[in-house]
Amino acid sequence: MKRYAIAVIPGDGIGVEVTRSALFILERVARAFAFNLDFQEFPWGSNFYLKHGVMMPPDGLTHLRTAHAIFLGAVGDPRIPDHVTLGGLLLPIRRGFQQFANVRPSVLFPGVRSPLREKAPGSIDCIVVRENTEGEYAPVGGRVHTGSSGEVAIQTAVFTRWGIERIIRFAFDLALSRGKRRKVTSITKSNAQGFGMGLWDEVFQKVALEFPQIETESLLIDAACMKLIQRPEDFDVLVASNLFGDIVSEITAAVTGSLGLAPSANINPSGEFPSMFEPVHGSAPDIAGSGRANPIAAILAAQMMLDSLGEKEAARSIYKAVTEYLSRGEDLPPDIGGAASTEQVTKRIETLLGRKDD
């Protein structure tokens, strides 16, 4: 029987609650599909920072390195600046393990109403591929004359041909594997950022020549945001820099119903290091502990994790259960129009899970 070591970082706020739901579903499908998941939990995040002054220990990556995958809930606390939270935990893991492809699928599920009028179930089905290790999130820059009227802050975006090419090639390969529209949209702002984004455009055009069977388009970030609201069904795979990928994935989550339905994967395609899976939403301290958090994004992130590990049948079982649960429209969580608690949603999905012999 196969065994998988899973490093678990529940994090903060509702991250703890939705992680509990995801692990419950994972344990259920592991039994049903005859494999083992060995969870090792790490108490890193904002509470750890408030006690120790760091989001995770200096040797944190060493503890995570031997895992087959990492599951993250959410991190963030109003008492801690966001750049400390991000730079102290998420970015070191993504960069240290070369998880350069951040994959964020968005689907308008049956039973979920888009805020856009007259969008049929399944009409919106796209994936944002976000470059995850360089670009605008590169920690290059600084501040001088701090606190004075002459203070200067410089933040430099870093784009390498190697980094751009590997994320764009990943997006094209993903479009091929989806077997749907087979379209890749590149999102930049090269009219204003002619050096870094100009290089991005050049590499996109070069890689596109190797995939003549894939339809392509290149949009500026402002035009892309507008089109995602006007005609989101026109998109298949979107590839973008670290910042722009983050922006458009918030829109794709919104037009498909809620951030509470949006999972993500931070992929190390070579398998040299573990990949990390997490819901797109944050720690939501305003509802933490109330039992109102939607666990579906975390459950779908768990589904993506199993798919990445090669447990395809178990992953399909989770996806099918979530789809059926949403299509019934009963006992939905508050963010999509219901009043069901985190636990109630989780239990409903659990009852719909299949088995290996189904």
> Taking a C-beta distance cutoff of 8 angstroms, is the pair 244, 204 a contact?
no
Over the stretch 142-153, which tens digit does the pLDDT of each residue have?
999 999 999 999
Query: What CATH architecture does domain 125-255 belong to?
Result: 3-Layer(aba) Sandwich (3.40)
User: Is 80 exceeded by the pLDDT of residue 284?
Assistant: yes
Q: Where are the domains of the chain?
A: 1-103+262-358, 125-255
Please count the other Cβ atoms lying within 10 Å of the Cβ belonging to residue 78: 11
- Mean pLDDT, the chain, integer: 95
User: Is 90 exceeded by the pLDDT of residue 62?
Assistant: yes
Provide the pLDDT for residue 357. 61
Mean pLDDT of 69-88: 94
Mean pLDDT of 69-96: 94
The DSSP output letter for 157 is E
User: Is 80 exceeded by the pLDDT of residue 55?
Assistant: yes
Fold agreement (1-103+262-358, 125-255):
yes
Q: Which fold has domain 1-103+262-358?
A: Isopropylmalate Dehydrogenase (3.40.718)
For tokens 């722009």, name the residue: 244
**Closest Cα partner for 208 from 168, 240, 181, 238?**
168
Whole-angstrom CA distances from 169 to 84, 203, 304, 348 are 31, 10, 20, 39
Mean pLDDT of 128-153: 94
Over the stretch 197-217, which tens digit does the pLDDT of each residue have?
999 999 999 999 999 999 999
For tokens 């099918």, name the residue: 320
Mean pLDDT of 278-298: 96
User: Is 70 exceeded by the pLDDT of residue 358?
Assistant: no
For tokens 């190390």, name the residue: 268
Provide the pLDDT for residue 181. 79
**Percentage of residues in the chain with pLDDT exceeding 70?**
99
Mean pLDDT of 304-310: 97
Provide the pLDDT for residue 179. 76
Whole-angstrom CA distances from 200 to 140, 163, 315, 323, 341 are 19, 10, 34, 36, 44
Provide the pLDDT for residue 237. 98
Alpha carbon distance 293, 13 (integer Å): 10
